[in-house]
């Protein structure tokens, strides 16, 4: 019996695309958050397909907005909002440091690495070799390391096998799930984030955290100066960790370069726009802009 005025969706997942197909056929307006982004994953074409089904767009950056426009979307439909992940950071949702150190048994005088690596969905059969290379680099760095389970993208089993094989090693802890407030808080106190999570590109620069981005999963994303890109090579990962921790030039560049993902008020841009949205024929009947 629900009769929504609009469907608000985010990102690039297949289940979101399915919801958009249903809304499209029911003549329900679709508002899409984080359209126009590039990435190196299998989901990128899904993101762009969602964009073409959507009636209102809330991209995170000006570059993403320009891509949406170049896909033929009319400019009045596009509203740059910033990234909603930044809202969570700047609204102070992170778990307190003392609580985190007690919960995860993190000594206050010992730096630690946070590792989150997903499978590269374009080559899922390589996921075990890829995580083994990253783990070899972390081992060379010789720091306490928190290993976090990946998402369920194709090839995730290889990542999990690698993490479990590392369990019990010196300074290694393995975590199947970390709640979002804890993960933000851990980024605030970690020495470095390693892997290929978008958190290293989007969230970490707002937390003054260096990120060693391994492989191609985030290859197309805009970057701040906190990201060090490396291949799946243990030596390269180890060198990059040392740079993130101890290179004064890297720290200075990170401090002076503003991240491109907004000011933490995406929710306000989105809700204000939706509150004034008139769902009419002009909105629902899309036309190419060229």
User: What secondary structure, in 3-state letters, does 11-52 show?
Assistant: CCCHHHHHHHHHHHHCCCEEEEECCCCCCCCCCHHHHHHHHH
In this predicted model, what pLDDT tens digit does every residue of 228-269 receive, in sequence order? 999 999 999 999 999 999 999 999 999 999 999 999 999 999
Residue intervals in the chain for CATH 3.40.50.2000:
6-82+265-284, 95-256
Distance CA(120)–CA(47), nearest Å, equals: 17
**CA-to-CA separations, 257 to 223, 227, 260, in angstroms, rounded:** 10, 12, 9
Using DSSP, state whether 230 is helix, strand or coil: strand
In this predicted model, what pLDDT tens digit does every residue of 138-197 receive, in sequence order? 999 999 999 999 999 999 999 999 999 999 999 999 999 999 999 999 999 999 999 999
Using DSSP, state whether 156 is helix, strand or coil: helix
User: Residue 166's closest CA among 153, 152, 190, 147?
Assistant: 147
pLDDT of residue 40: 74
Backbone angles phi, psi at 113, to 5 degrees: -105, 140
Distance CA(32)–CA(20), nearest Å, equals: 10
Write b or e for each residue in 48-83: b if 16 or more Cβ atoms lie within 10 A of its Cβ, otherwise e. bbbbebbbbbbbbbeebbebbbeeebbeebbbbbbb
The enclosing H or E element of 228 equals strand 227-230
Assigned architecture for domain 6-82+265-284: 3-Layer(aba) Sandwich (3.40)
pLDDT of residue 173: 98
- pTM across the whole model: 0.91
**Residue holding tokens 């560049």?**
253
Residue 253: DSSP 8-state: H
In this predicted model, what pLDDT tens digit does every residue of 28-87 receive, in sequence order? 999 999 999 998 778 899 999 999 999 999 999 999 999 999 999 999 999 999 999 999
Pairing of strands 227-230, 211-214: parallel
**95-256 in CATH: which number?**
3.40.50.2000
């Amino acid at each position: 019996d629900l009769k929504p005025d609009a469907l608000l969706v985010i990102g690039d997942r297949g289940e979101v695309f399915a919801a958009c197909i249903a809304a499209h056929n029911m003549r329900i307006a679709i508002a899409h958050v984080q359209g126009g982004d590039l990435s190196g994953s299998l989901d990128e074409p899904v993101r762009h397909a969602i964009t073409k089904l959507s009636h209102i767009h809330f991209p995170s950056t000006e570059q993403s907005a320009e891509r949406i426009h170049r896909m033929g979307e009319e400019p009045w439909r596009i509203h740059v909002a910033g990234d909603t992940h930044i809202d969570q950071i700047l609204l102070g949702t992170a778990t307190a440091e003392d609580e985190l150190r007690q919960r995860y048994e993190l000594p206050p005088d010992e730096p630690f690495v946070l590792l989150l690596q997903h499978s590269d969905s374009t080559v899922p059969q390589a996921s075990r070799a890829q995580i083994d290379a990253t783990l070899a680099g972390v081992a060379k760095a010789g720091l306490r390391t928190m290993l976090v389970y990946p998402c369920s993208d194709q090839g995730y089993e290889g990542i999990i096998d690698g993490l479990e094989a590392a369990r019990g090693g010196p300074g290694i802890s393995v975590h199947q799930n970390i709640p979002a407030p804890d993960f933000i808080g851990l980024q605030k106190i970690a020495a470095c984030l390693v892997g290929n999570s978008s958190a290293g590109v989007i969230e970490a620069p707002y937390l003054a955290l260096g990120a060693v981005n391994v492989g191609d999963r985030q290859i197309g994303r805009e970057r701040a100066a906190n990201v060090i890109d490396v291949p799946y090579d243990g030596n390269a990962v180890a060198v990059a960790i040392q740079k993130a921790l101890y290179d004064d030039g890297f720290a200075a560049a990170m401090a002076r370069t503003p991240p491109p993902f907004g000011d933490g008020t995406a929710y306000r841009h989105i809700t204000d726009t939706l509150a004034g949205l008139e769902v009419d024929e002009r909105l629902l009947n899309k036309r190419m802009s060229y």
